[in-house]
Amino acid sequence: MMLRRPLFWLILLLAAVFAWLPKHGNNVALREDLILVAVAIILTSNLNLMIGYTGYVNFGHIVFYGLGGYVGLYLMTVRSWHLIPAALTAGVAVSVLALLFGLGILRLRGAYFALATIGVLEAVQAFVSNFESWGRSTGMYVSFESYVPMGGPKHALWLTYFLIIGVMALSLMLSLGIRRSKFGLGLFAIREDEDAAIVLGVNATLYKAIIYSVSAFLPAVAGALMFFKNGMIDPSIAFEYMLSLEGIVMLMLGGQGTVAGSALGAGLYERLRSYLLTSPRLSAFHLVIAGALLLLVIRLAPGGLIGWLYRLVPRSREVIE
């Protein structure tokens, strides 16, 4: 089924290009640029499962990424686990935690749910900042020994890069798979009218809790990989509220509810942000520009760039999605 979707092959092609480009010329600068794009795509496409598919705005999505980083680094540095099992365990642990949070806060709807997600982010950050085993506010550092089983730092960083590209491809495949499934249809029904969906037979409580938990898994894996690559983690970089908000901007820019839109928005916005942050004149302005961009998108193209394309060329929707 999936093999017949053009988007499936586009995702594989994207991942292959991402993997090949920097490795080909051993271009580490390009690798560092692309890894940020890949992480942006991972976060945005998983956020899309909540906002775009289910209609629940999650302002605290970054909490999964940060917690994944913490669990992963704890397992690698304190427990001396290898990168891959540590990252997978981080994903599972954070998903289970999200399921528990979800069963609680998903009783809320609309603005109340959105506020509760900010509460979850703040509460987790406050907990981690005071948690002895995770280094409180100073965080944790990756020790040199952690690189040894992977053949030294240089190899370890390339391995991490390829793994993140893999997680990016999986995130997009997951979005595509859910979009075309019965489970996805139930989520869309909840997005359109939750009460009507329940009367039509959709078990909304269960569906919402599952998708909230699923949307936590790959971001948590990515967090473990990315903070390993960075070599350290502390509460302020792990739970950066701005990054959570920017994820929403990326999603709206590209087109919420669509697979291609989440990737496109994340890619474009991440490149723009990197340009602005490194430009000497504009670096202080990047959030102003993000805000203006969000307003323009909502006003002029509520479906985002992809939504605009789909409206212009209706055939493209069937081909791409």
Partner 1 sequence: MTDLLQVRGISKRFGGLQAVADVSFNLGEGEILGLIGPNGAGKTTLFNLVNGVFKSDAGTITFLGKDITGRSPDQVVHLGLARTHQIVRPLSGMSVLENVIVGACFGRENQSMREARATALEVLERVGLADRANSSARALTLAGKKRLEVARALAARPMLLLLDEVLAGLNPTEIGQMIALILSIRDGGVSVFMIEHVMQAIMNLSDRIVVLNLGRKIAEAPPAEVVKNADVVEAYLGFPDIVDKLRGAQ
Q: Can residue 189 be called a binding residue for partner 1 (CB under 8 A)?
A: yes
**Which of these ranges, 98-106, 195-203, 269-277, 286-294, lies near partner 1 under the rule CB under 8 A?**
195-203
Among 57, 84, 185, 232, which residue sits at the site for partner 1 (rule: CB under 8 A)?
A: 185
Looking at the Cβ atoms of 186 and 254, the one nearer to partner 1 is: 186
Cβ 197 vs Cβ 204: under 8 Å: yes
- Give the residues across from 233 on adjacent strands: 140
Query: How many residues of this chain bind partner 1 (CB under 8 A)?
Result: 19
Can you tell me the distance from the alpha carbon of 51 to that of 275, in angstroms, rounded to the nearest whole number?
27
Q: Can residue 195 be called a binding residue for partner 1 (CB under 8 A)?
A: yes
Q: Can residue 314 be called a binding residue for partner 1 (CB under 8 A)?
A: no
Q: Can residue 109 be called a binding residue for partner 1 (CB under 8 A)?
A: no
Looking at the Cβ atoms of 11 and 197, the one nearer to partner 1 is: 197
Looking at the Cβ atoms of 185 and 232, the one nearer to partner 1 is: 185
Among 10, 118, 198, 272, which residue sits at the site for partner 1 (rule: CB under 8 A)?
A: 198
Shortest spacing between CB 113 and partner 1, in angstroms: 19
Tokens of 233: 């983690």
Collapsed DSSP state (helix, strand, coil) of residue 139 = coil
CA-nearest of 66, 44, 41 to 241 is 66
Looking at the Cβ atoms of 24 and 182, the one nearer to partner 1 is: 182
Looking at the Cβ atoms of 162 and 188, the one nearer to partner 1 is: 188
Distance linking the first and last C-alpha atoms of the chain: 13
SS (H, E, C) 13-38: HHHHHHHHHHHHCCCHHHHHHHHHHH
Q: What φ, ψ does residue 202 adopt, rounded to 5°?
A: -80, 125
